[in-house]
A and B are shown apart, each in its own frame.
Chain A
Amino acid sequence: MEYLIGIQGPDYVLVAADNVAASSIIQMKHDYDKMFKLSDKILLLCVGEAGDTVQFAEYIQKNVQLYKMRNGYELSPSAAANFTRKNLADYLRSRTPYHVNLLLAGHDDADGPGLFYMDYLASLAKAPFAAHGYGAFLTLSILDRYYRPDLTRDEAVDLLKKCVEELNRRFILNLPSFNVRLIDKDGIHDMEKISIGTK
């Protein structure tokens, strides 16, 4: 019932997450932010089991910041993704595995933009676009159809809106609004929230 999506462009990554924090059948919050800022140019989107998400994401967030304090420079998105995956893998075969599904999006001055897909079994894949949740079943084929590596930012936002429209049309659960952020060489930019009824 939670939904994450990421789209990588030639020099940016666009990510969005729904805003619902649910407990059983009740929406406890309508404006919950599922994105965690790891550094000035890296965002971690995290969904999964209640409690595990925040605990794991904050653990990764603090460790990435600690690396910067100790070494004087920040981890690259690829390094942060591999660090995250290693932690997931280590905890997977312990008595306390973290059941979380992640998207890590970042911009590196050397490597450019990157979007990394990770799941609770500690798999890691760098992908041009990715989605998590039941909504992914409905939106991945839209991304397959319309994605091009040279999408402009406006085209990427339109593609994102197409996906959200499809969720509102066919997904059985109500996801009224989505946080949208864009990462490029200048950092993380908050974009306009997508709600039911925005065109």
Chain B
Amino acid sequence: MQTRKKYIFLTFLASWLLLFFFGGDQLRRFAFFSGRKAEARRNWPRWTDRSLLKSFADPEELQRDGDPSLLSPRERRAAWLSVYRSSRCRMETCFDFSRCERNGFKVFTYPQERGQPISDTYSKILSSIERSRYHTLNPEEACLFILSIDTLDRDHLSGQYVRDVDEKIRGFPLWNGGRNHLIFNLYSGTWPSYTGELGFDIGQAILAKASFDSESFRPGFDVSIPLFSKEHPQRGGHRGWLSQDSVPPKKKYLLVFKGKRYLTGIGSGTRNALHHIHNGQDIISLTTCKHGKDWEKHKDTRCDKDNVDYERFDYQELLHNSTFCIVPRGRRLGSFRFLEALQAACIPVLLSDGWELPFAEAIDWGRAAVVGSERLLLQIPSAVRCIRPERVLAFQQQTQFLWDAYFSSVDKIVHTTLEIIKDRLSPHRSRSRFLWNTLPGGLLVLPDFSTHLGDFPFYYLQHGYSPSKKFTAFIRAVSQAGSLSQPILRLIQAVSGSQYCAQIVVLWSCEKPPPPSGKWPQSAVPVTIIQGSGKLSDRFFPFEAIQTDAVLSLDEDTSLSTSEVDFAFLVWRSFPERIVGFPTQSHFWDAEQGRWGYTSKWTNELSIVLTAAAFYHRYYHSLFTEYLPAALRELVDGLAACEDILMNVLVAAVTKLPPVKVTQRKQHKEVVAQQAECRDGAAGTPPPGQRSPSAPHAAPAKGKGSAGSRRFSQRQDCLDQLADWFGYMPLVSSQLRLDPVLFKDQVSVLRKKYPSLEK
């Protein structure tokens, strides 16, 4: 009885519920509709005759946009030259492109005159240019000119202010109204208005200036540079502070500011308001009134309390422990704070209205900073709280990338400026915004190599490409002419046996001619012979003959088997931006001698893969030859066995990652057949044997002839000089080696793909 009642009741209930839902739905729809309709009434009307409306322009008018009465294009361009000058300069009106066409992009720095005071910072800038690969000593072939007069500080109250610039400039025969000149400036204008006033007429020169305001900035012509301090390193530079990616960001503070507050005058508006957002917990915003000589005169009621709070926190500690950093304008638009925050991975929150951000022509700041509005200061806390953790993580990483790619040294700032100007000269051979804003950054990507992303080793994943499925074996031969040595024959045999080998290129580094084609072994792949000049840096020249993405660099006495090559190539396809190879060495800091040391002994780590047997991307040949300045290549040519270290250093500087070592067959050290060396052709050619893949055994131990130890010390010198040139030690160590999945596992060899590697 009870159950039946329950059932009836339930059915009853269910049917009511059903009705309710049905009705409810109707009700909702009704309400929704009436709402929509009411709104629709005020929407833009659907005119009954909308299909009859006339088009905004006659099709003929759109397609025949010409007016014969207008100036001809040539006349117009000529007319522009006189109209668009000084404050309206653009590259097409104020820059002489023809100067750059003859000799390419060459930069000339005026010789320094005696008695001419030059600040440390300006001499750093000049030496950055002199270190760049674009520098020339010949004004005739120059495309861009840099003054020797220090124009950095144009605040005439400052001690660094150089007087009578106008007069001096007019005395320069090369000045030419400032055409094709680049002028650097960090401080312009003075108390109280701090305008962009430079105190001399720059004529048609390009201005690279810090704290540029968007109004006086001539787009596509000037370059906005960051403000950097006297202590900013010349080269290398310190790394960013981000050492780990954490989500959510585990920082003590959300948002910080610590700095001066101007009581009066320009820029005081924002700084005086900053204390409003201070909450003492996760938002710390501290200002001090102590500024200038007579601050007490303007002192207000907050000052005493603010000054006390201010002393309680340490600026560096705040930088380290905050997710966001407020970067407000100072007297001028830019501040040191900007680069400091960038380095600290503290996401800059910019409050500097009208600031043309540094290198904004290339850098997409929206990915690394929050570009706030001074007027909306009070919204900043809620705005930054709303940024989702994964976006914060992306911001943080981007600050580090930008810092390291463009800002960490004077060299980088100056070179970025030059590259931006160079890119304007031939727009079709320039870097896209994507290249500038993606690792490894614009400076390391040469548009002269290619403008296609797929040709570089860095963008495969971002664009869904994959590296080519074949490789080019590139063998450097130094042996006596007339007969080919046994090792090289064996090597060609082994390499051409690989299913992935597309071609073999032999670099014949000997003055004597290579053996006739009939003497070369028959192989399944084409063999090309290139006559080299005998220089050591030759082996990394971007030869036209190399057609594949992957290069397998080999010495003639390298001994490899086909399966080693196959396996290493497959590994390289997983790591196309790194060097993947067999024999390795490692570097270390020798604290006793205060220098870098290197060892080829068996160690648990590795940081250098010898290019006597290594895969890498062919782009690195271009980078080696085009990107590195000639002086560095000369250094390498002068030292024995330094070129492969330089290659490793270069790749590590680009990728920030260690190279990859792969399995190498164990072999007894072969007594390399004595080869007559081609002394005349290659002065610094290392003795063979030491460079074979069995090199780990060939440690330059005591008792190895004097040649070996000389080589060893030269390599050490090389490492030291490279570290000095780069300004830091780019090499990164790795503790692992990649082996085939079943390497030395206790399984039947029949199941293994690379059984021969285990012998």
Indicate, yes or no, whether A interacts with B.
no
Chain B positions within 8 Å of A, measured between CB atoms, are: none
